Structure 1
Amino acid sequence: MSLDDLNREQKRHLKKMGALDDKGKVQKQQRQQPKKKQDRVGPVQYLREVRDEMRKVAWPQRPAIVRYSIVVLVTVIVYTALVGGLDYFFGKLAEWFYST
């Protein structure tokens, strides 16, 4: 397979990996040493990083939370009624079918 057989996305990926130079020529790559296992961070550092990441989250506003909660509650009630009604119907059907 030659470079002419590759599409732009494949060439971009190879360039990003370092297999191609800026002109699109094949570049011999040095073998990378396996990465050493990183040391664990302490609980204080972990909590600090969690706090920093949680600050980046785009939290919904109160009206959106109320609206979503109402949608979830109505959906749960409807499906509960549906399953309960079907259970009742099939129970009566089975009772009629198996009665002597």
Structure 2
Amino acid sequence: MSMDDLNREQKRQLKKMGALDDQGKMQRAPRPQPKKKQDRVTPAQYLREVRDEMRKVAWPKRPEIIRYSIVVLITVIVYTALVGGLDYGFGKAAEWFYSTS
């Protein structure tokens, strides 16, 4: 690809990335430096940071927990009854279908 094939916007982007010099000639862009590996933190520092983050959590109040627990229990009971009823119905249908009379 020659410079004549590029439009003005492409040339601006190449210059911004460092692939063009001030005269508009192609140059090799410098390689990005590898990022320095972050040092590991000590277990004590990790626990302090965890404690600080846990203080920021908006914990639900007791009435919310009770309400959500009731919703979960009712949902579990309904779905358990649904699956149990379907299992019973399909079992009876299979028993009728495969019975030898």
- Considering the TM-score relative to the shorter chain, is it more than 0.5? yes
Tell me the TM-score normalized by structure 2.
0.69
Matched position secondary structure for 2:33: coil
Q: Which 4+ residue blocks in structure 1 deviate beyond 6 angstroms?
A: none
Q: CA deviation at 1:43?
A: 0.7
Partner of 1:51: 51
Instruction: Give the Cα–Cα distance (whole angstroms) in 2 for the partners of residues 31 and 72 of structure 1.
Output: 55
Partner of 1:92: 92
**Aligned pairs, how many?**
79
Unaligned residue ranges in structure 1 (runs of 5+): 4-18, 20-25
* Aligned-partner residue type, residue 42 of structure 2: G
Unaligned residue ranges in structure 2 (runs of 5+): 1-6, 19-29
Partner of 1:41: 41
Tell me the TM-score normalized by structure 1.
0.69
RMSD: 2.0
Identity between Structure 1 and Structure 2 (%): 77
Instruction: Give the Cα–Cα distance (whole angstroms) in 1 for the partners of residues 79 and 70 of structure 2.
Output: 14
Instruction: Give the Cα–Cα distance (whole angstroms) in 2 for the partners of residues 28 and 88 of structure 1.
Output: 68
